[in-house]
Chain A
Amino acid sequence: MIASVLPVISPGTLLAAAVTSTAASLWLLLPRGQTGAAERRSRWLGGLLGLAALGCFIATGHRLGGLGEETVFLIVSLVAVISGAATVVTRSPVYSAIWFAMALAGVAGVLLVLGAQFLGVATIVVYAGAILVMFLFVLMLAAPAGLAPYDRVSNEPLLSAVAGAVLLGILSLSIGRLTAEPPLCCRVPSKAVAITGDAAPAAGLPAVAAMSVDLLAENHVARLGGELFGRHLIAVEVAGVLLLVALVGSIAIVSRGASADGTVAPARRAVP
């Protein structure tokens, strides 16, 4: 819709603007050791630029018109992306973790809209419920009081931001090209063409789309469970073993750091 409003702007220019403003916004937002008014100014500027970048990405060609599903998607994806950006740029690691929880909520919403109910819920439960709590626990255990100097500076902020933005640009570019080509499910595998030497689609080959299932049909979780414990049973078992190994390994590494009487060895404070 927006693209149709701005017909004079080519998609390439839009993408370039999006990439540039993403990089600029991230660079402005990342901690660079500035304080006071300068910091506040760059935060504002970076936030505005980031919003502009989001607008550009929304405008790079996808109709997000109408209400319903698509509006919900827009909202939750905005929550995920903005919270993710905040995770990256927030100075305090605790706030960072909380922003990450917010991003997880947004991602869970995106997954729900995309028809993955189980995964959405699992993300909330596993990440927000377990992993994130673990992160926060470690933070409480380890983080010194106040804002550490290394939280106030970044490693090569400009280069990192530019690299991330360029990666995003390339990914967007390649995703945008998908619209110009028929979906994978409807294409004849090029290998078959190569083998038969026949340019025309081979009639005998069944279309991949014929095998597709409607993920949004009834009994979604039951069918996912059936798939998981049917075709992927061994992989599930391997994943279980992996979890066990990780558990044992973590305990082993931690207990090596502790001395015989169970206390953690006193930290060898390095001179910064």
Chain B
Amino acid sequence: MQDIPSSTLLVLVPLLPLVGAILTVALGRTLGSRAHVPAIVGIAASAAVAVTLLFGMVRQVAVGNSAAQQGQQVQPVEMVTTLWEWADIPNAQAAGGTTAASFLIPVALRLDPLTATLLVIITCVGLLVAIYSIGYMHGDPGYPRFFALFSMFVFSMTMLVAASNFLLVYVFWEAVGACSYLLIGFWFTKPEAAKAAKKAFLVNRVGDFGLAVATFLLWMTYGTLNFHDTVLSDGTAVPGILGVTRLADASGYVGGAVGSAICLLLLLAACGKSAQLPLHVWLPDAMEGPTPASALIHAATMVTAGIYLIARSGPLFVACPGALTLVSIVGATTALIAALIGTVQNDLKRVLAYSTISQLGYMFASLGTGTLLGFSAAIFHLVTHAFFKALLFLGAGSVMHSMGGVIDMRRFGGLRRVMPVTAVTFLVGSLALAGVAPFAGFFSKDEILASLHSRGWPDTHGEHQEAVPAGGHAMTAGSFRLVSVTPDASRLAGGDRGSRLDALNQPATWRLLFWMSLVTAGLTAFYTFRAVFMTFTGPTRVPEQAGHHAHGAAGSAAHESPPVMTIPLVILAVASAVSGWWLFSTHGLATFLAATPSFTAPSIASTATPPVFHWDLAIQGTLAAAAGIVVAALGHLGKRSDGPQMERFLGPLETLFANRFYFDQIYAGLIVKPLEFVATLAALIDRYLIDGTVDLVARLPLALGGLVRHLQSGLVQRYALAGVIGMLLIVLALVARAMG
């Protein structure tokens, strides 16, 4: 392995799943029930390469950090491989049209701690889910298609996190969206699935629009789209948007109106992909797709693309504190609302879907703090969440598989006796999700709460305030100061009061957000254990649809899933149990991520805090989780899940939650119906006005032709006569001319 350069390995990570996808497409029909082989081999090899790269990167960071001990500055670690130039337009107008810049778009892959971490998560979780799918998708007529799409998704997602260019990011942002669309609509003959796929696609378009406009604005503002520093063919160096040169420059980032606009558009894009308010409506419906696809795409990886985008663009956001605060507000609000909706859902997969939205909201809230702690906590939670949410989804899939496709929790119960492995692993995942020590979610959620707490009560975390470099200036009232827009940059953007959003950046806001998050933690524990108790405790009941699996004893139709499905569950359960403690106790992840170029910007790196375990926050979080579990146990432990539920005590609020805060209805009334009206109007205009005009144009020659068509009698002698008459006319004309 030492002989192969890292750049080759980096290319292999997306390439192997792509080859797997192409082979599956080409040979799918031939392979039949073995169609999973190319995809799984490709993803497995890709995972092995990704792990190798991660270890190499860890070693490199360690070397860099030990060297940085003297300089007290974390050195950015990145490696960029340019495959080929996609576009190279010299002298394109950029930067407000004042200077000529070269529009250079290389197909460049990058490797840095953030990318390496995500590559490992994507490929490893992808591998486990793919193995699980062998059992879950067994016998489906679209078996090869599923693995082709799955492999294609892994390719697109790895490319998305490895791309070193906003345009490439956009391309693969769309590619993962397309794979998601195709997998949600996998059972396209089912009307709900087709509808859900369409909804996901359309809602994502809103976010994609944001990313597209953000890309345009970035090009106009910075004159490049590359993350890394590039050298043009004529020797001039162009500092990349997230390149080392610009990061080191204190005035490298534009704030004000333009900067805020860029950040808000990026936030819109992230909201679309990561299902945050107000674009969260597609994710619950996306559960119509196959459960493994939900586990990988709509829980573990694709929906975290928004987190990745914001984390990657961290320096841009930090220059616009208002936008950054909005990220947190959106995140915390989403987390709370999704958790509230989740408390009354009876569809097991939908509970998990709302839980996903809620946890993604957590990550957003953490990102919005703009501190190194916040960023690393978000990524930390992303990693642990990928493990335990994939586990929970796969467990739900296992239940669904065994129950013959039934997923309504009121129709089964007491399954711990029927499916012991699934029950235990699901419980582990639930503990992790609920944030019970020492499972993974506890540590990552604790860090998120800590990052929010540090913004709400900066005095208690005051140890990093002295690290604010002299170049920055205090932005807002209150005791907390954030390194922010430098005067130069804000003047470039057209005035330093460009963004009224900055007024949001108050400690009071952060305190509110912290309490919201804490409440959400309790709600999370409640709905998670509500699901656990409804599904696995109480009297054993199985729906009649489970009958088709009756190849065991006649009495017990339902059964535990095959090993090919349970083994990935066990592996993920182990990861969910230990990854949080391991990553937190060694501080490996935080230290590792700190070397990501985006996080070495002075504005972020200066907020570094020593790794501390916040006992007070841990106790608050644990209390919230315990409260949630206790309430859930009071309501559901050991009871029939189809009986009257304790949620009825919520009164009218239950109706509100069950109808998901009427988001779909509001959108239908505000957006869909007016659009339908306009479309109907346009269709009418098209049909009668435009088509009528076109038809008129077509009918005119037809009518004129009708006048002379009777000459075309088909009688050759008439044609000959006409020819002779024509000849005579010509001759007569000539004679008349000759005569004078």
Complex contact flag A–B (Cβ < 8 Å): yes
Nearest first, the 4 A-B pairs at minimum CB distance are A155-B717, A163-B724, A166-B728, A163-B725
Q: Name which residue of chain B comes closest to A154, CB basis.
A: B717
A-B contact count (CB 8 A): 24
B732: A residues at CB distance < 8 A: 166, 170
B715 near A: Cβ within 8 Å? yes
Tell me, in angstroms, the Cα distance from A167 to B732 when the chains sit together.
9
Tell me, in angstroms, the Cα distance from A173 to B728 when the chains sit together.
14
Task: Give the contact-size bracket for chain A.
Answer: 10 to 19
Tell me, in angstroms, the Cα distance from A144 to B247 when the chains sit together.
105
B728: A residues at CB distance < 8 A: 163, 166-167, 170
Given the known A-B contacts A170-B731, A170-B732, are A156 and B718 also in contact in the complex, defined by CB atoms under 8 Å?
yes
B735 near A: Cβ within 8 Å? yes
Which B positions have Cβ atoms within 8 angstroms of A? 715, 717-718, 721, 724-725, 728, 731-732, 735
Contact with B721, one of A155, A166, A173 (Cβ below 8 angstroms) = A155
State how many angstroms separate the Cβ of A157 from the closest Cβ of chain B: 11
A173: B residues at CB distance < 8 A: 735
Main secondary structure of the interface of A (DSSP, over half): helix
Q: Name which residue of chain B comes closest to A173, CB basis.
A: B735
Which A positions have Cβ atoms within 8 angstroms of B? 155-156, 159-160, 163, 166-167, 170, 173-174
State how many angstroms separate the Cβ of A151 from the closest Cβ of chain B: 14
Tell me, in angstroms, the Cα distance from A2 to B30 when the chains sit together.
102
Given the known A-B contacts A155-B715, A166-B728, A167-B728, are A160 and B735 also in contact in the complex, defined by CB atoms under 8 Å?
no
Given the known A-B contacts A155-B717, A155-B718, are A170 and B735 also in contact in the complex, defined by CB atoms under 8 Å?
yes
Main secondary structure of the interface of B (DSSP, over half): helix
Tell me, in angstroms, the Cα distance from A124 to B650 when the chains sit together.
122
Q: Name which residue of chain A comes closest to B725, CB basis.
A: A163
Tell me, in angstroms, the Cα distance from A166 to B724 when the chains sit together.
11
Tell me, in angstroms, the Cα distance from A87 to B721 when the chains sit together.
19
Is the Cβ of A160 less than 8 Å from the Cβ of B721?
yes
Tell me, in angstroms, the Cα distance from A156 to B731 when the chains sit together.
22
B721: A residues at CB distance < 8 A: 155-156, 159-160, 163
B725: A residues at CB distance < 8 A: 159, 163
Tell me, in angstroms, the Cα distance from A74 to B728 when the chains sit together.
29
Tell me, in angstroms, the Cα distance from A249 to B131 when the chains sit together.
76
B724: A residues at CB distance < 8 A: 163, 167
A160: B residues at CB distance < 8 A: 721
B718: A residues at CB distance < 8 A: 155-156
A166: B residues at CB distance < 8 A: 728, 732
Tell me, in angstroms, the Cα distance from A170 to B718 when the chains sit together.
22
Tell me, in angstroms, the Cα distance from A159 to B711 when the chains sit together.
14
A155: B residues at CB distance < 8 A: 715, 717-718, 721
Tell me, in angstroms, the Cα distance from A113 to B221 when the chains sit together.
104
Tell me, in angstroms, the Cα distance from A170 to B729 when the chains sit together.
11
State how many angstroms separate the Cβ of B470 from the closest Cβ of chain A: 101
B715: A residues at CB distance < 8 A: 155
A167: B residues at CB distance < 8 A: 724, 728
Tell me, in angstroms, the Cα distance from A78 to B718 when the chains sit together.
31
Tell me, in angstroms, the Cα distance from A149 to B728 when the chains sit together.
31
State how many angstroms separate the Cβ of A22 from the closest Cβ of chain B: 14
| 22 intermolecular pairs with C-beta atoms under 8 Å apart | A155-B715, A155-B717, A155-B718, A156-B717, A156-B718, A159-B721, A159-B725, A160-B721, A163-B721, A163-B724, A163-B725, A163-B728, A166-B728, A166-B732, A167-B724, A167-B728, A170-B728, A170-B731, A170-B732, A170-B735, A173-B735, A174-B735
